[in-house]
Chain A
Amino acid sequence: MVIDIFNYCQIICYLLDNIYLFILVNEGYEYQPHRVRRKLQEIRDFNEDAAKWIDDIPIEQWSRAYDENRRYSHMTTNLVECMNGALKGIRSLPITSLVEATLFKVLKWFVDHGRQATNERVAGHIYCEYYRNAFNKNKAKASECEVIILNVEETGFKCKNHTIDLDGNLVVNFDFH
């Protein structure tokens, strides 16, 4: 069983007759054009020039609701800003030294992260830290779930997540096939 752990997935697991059913699901964002349109209308009512300026930019280039999860939820260039911060000390160096300094930084990065990955493997972990945390979180939720198997061969199933609110009413949170 090979799982592309670099895919941005979140793991949900459900407990079912002593069998854990592990499901890797893609974490995505719902297509919500109506909410974006409503907000745009609000901006238009408030400041028409600003709304016109926004209209010039194609909506799929700035809205998460329209981008089909290509951005992996990254709305900003924060990762580059991190890198700028990390290189702050060496940006005053002459060019050849600067190139060399980035080499050492990258080397250190790979040594550190390689060591971390090796340690995790030696400790017997299959998945990286992020997945383990997601997995444990969802495992805790699993006890609240009810799974109805529809078709084992085609892995068809139905899942209900019940919670009881303060008034004692049963609330079904989600239900997916």
Chain B
Amino acid sequence: MYFHRVFWAFKPCIDAFRHLKPMIQIDGTFLYGKYSHKLLIATGQDGNLKVVPLAFAIVEEEKRESWSFFLTMLRRHVVKERQVCVISDRHGGILSAVANDESWQPPLGYHVFCIRHLASNLNTTHKDRKAKKMFTSAGKFGYRHFQLLSDYLLFIR
């Protein structure tokens, strides 16, 4: 018998999720020591700008099947029917896992990329630091504006 994959999420995190911003960040990282497995993590953020851990998984490697497993479980147990935006790097495994899963496509899920990972991909493929900087700043364009929520008006004397 050998270890395959494991996904876990804690009840308080699942309950907390519907109070968080509809935005999830996912990424994979190495395990140290005797395992060559990867630890996949999903995190959210609350209205007070605090980071909230949502779900974890240990998988054999970052490939389509393992990301697909993680995203399916995340949708089934944590996110449920909520409309969310997912931020990740542009890993081939995540791309094809999202492409093959309807629950992570609009209007339920919007997949966007981390500008820092994209810029460093651009730098490795084209060896161009100036283009990397320009690309990062192009991604960040946008300035603050205010949009009135008329439901949230109150008068206090």
* A and B: interacting chains: yes
Given the known interface contacts A20-B155, A43-B134, the answer about A53 and B125 at a Cβ–Cβ threshold of 8 Å is: yes
Q: Is the CB of B51 within 8 A of A130?
A: no
Q: Report the separation of the CA atoms of residues A106 and B87 in the bound assembly, to the nearest whole angstrom.
A: 22
Question: Cβ of B111: which chain A residues have Cβ within 8 Å of it?
Answer: 61
The chain B residue with its CB closest to the CB of A174 is B146
Interface size on B, residues (CB 8 A): 79
> B10-48 interface mask toward A, CB cutoff 8 Å, 1 = contact, 0 = none?
101100000111110111011111010101011111111
Answer yes or no: B153 CB below 8 A from chain A CBs.
yes
Given the known interface contacts A74-B23, A95-B3, the answer about A23 and B148 at a Cβ–Cβ threshold of 8 Å is: yes
- Among B61-69, B71-79, B136-144, the stretch that binds chain A is B136-144
Which DSSP category, helix, strand, loop or mixed, fits chain A's interface? Answer: mixed
Q: Is the CB of B141 within 8 A of A106?
A: no
Q: Is the CB of B144 within 8 A of A47?
A: no
Query: Distance in Å from the Cβ of A63 to the closest Cβ of chain B?
Result: 5
Given the known interface contacts A57-B118, A77-B117, the answer about A109 and B87 at a Cβ–Cβ threshold of 8 Å is: no
Question: Cβ of B42: which chain A residues have Cβ within 8 Å of it?
Answer: 80
Given the known interface contacts A50-B126, A109-B53, the answer about A26 and B149 at a Cβ–Cβ threshold of 8 Å is: yes
Q: Report the separation of the CA atoms of residues A51 and B50 in the bound assembly, to the nearest whole angstrom.
A: 36
Within 8 A of B (CB), among A35-50: 35-36, 39-40, 42-43, 46-47, 49-50
Q: Is the CB of A106 within 8 A of B53?
A: yes
> A14-39 interface mask toward B, CB cutoff 8 Å, 1 = contact, 0 = none?
00001111111111111110011001
Q: Is the CB of B131 within 8 A of A46?
A: yes
Interface residues on A, range: 35 or more
The 6 closest A-B pairs by CB, nearest first: A29-B142, A24-B152, A92-B32, A39-B138, A6-B47, A70-B85
Can you list 30 A-B pairs, Cβ within 8 angstroms, ordered by A? Answer: A5-B47, A19-B157, A24-B152, A25-B146, A25-B148, A28-B147, A36-B138, A49-B126, A51-B131, A53-B122, A54-B122, A57-B113, A61-B113, A62-B115, A71-B85, A71-B87, A75-B115, A76-B115, A76-B117, A80-B41, A83-B41, A91-B30, A91-B31, A92-B33, A95-B3, A98-B31, A99-B8, A109-B53, A113-B50, A176-B146
Interface residues of B (CB under 8 A from A): 3, 6, 8, 10, 12-13, 19-23, 25-27, 29-33, 35, 37, 39, 41-53, 56, 58, 85, 87-90, 110-118, 122, 125-126, 128, 130-131, 134-135, 137-150, 152-157
Interface residues of A (CB under 8 A from B): 1, 3, 5-10, 12, 18-32, 35-36, 39-40, 42-43, 46-47, 49-51, 53-54, 57, 60-65, 67, 70-72, 74-84, 87, 91-93, 95, 98-99, 102-103, 105-106, 109-110, 113, 128-131, 155, 176
